[in-house]
Amino acid sequence: LGLSVSHGIIAKHGGNLTVESEEGSGACFTITFPVISFPGIDTFTL
């Protein structure tokens, strides 16, 4: 997927896409999504 398409999909799900780059070292992309909790469902770690 292109970066624009990825950003659009993430934004439609309430998320955020950020990038940090340093010349000669590459880039780090961070994707975050809001957490929704549902009563009665145990939490877990991915």
The pLDDT tens digits for 8-39 are 999 999 999 999 999 999 999 999 998 877 67
Specify the pLDDT at position 35: 80
Distance from C-alpha of 19 to C-alpha of 37, rounded to nearest angstrom: 27
Specify the pLDDT at position 19: 94
| pTM attached to this predicted model | 0.64
For residue 8, the one-letter residue type is: G
The SS3 assignment for 26 reads strand
Residue 46 has pLDDT above 70, yes or no: no
pLDDT band for position 44 (cuts 50, 70, 90): low
DSSP 8-state code for residue 31 = E
Specify the pLDDT at position 43: 64
